[in-house]
Amino acid sequence: MTGFFPFNRRTVGFVRTGNTPREKYDTWAVQLIAKVLTVWYDCSGDERIPQALYRLLKNDYDLLGSGKIKLFDWGKSRWYETFIALHFLNPL
DSSP string for residues in 4-46: -GGG-TT--S----TT--GGGS-THHHHHHHHHHHHHHHHH--
Residue 12, pLDDT above cutoff 70: no
- At 35 the pLDDT is 94
Q: Note the pLDDT tens digit of each residue in 27-79.
A: 888 899 999 999 999 999 999 999 999 999 998 899 999 999 888 888 888 88
First-to-last alpha carbon distance for the chain, in angstroms, is 30
Q: Is 29 exposed, middle or buried (0-12, 13-18, 19+ CB in 10 A)?
A: middle
The length of the chain is: 92
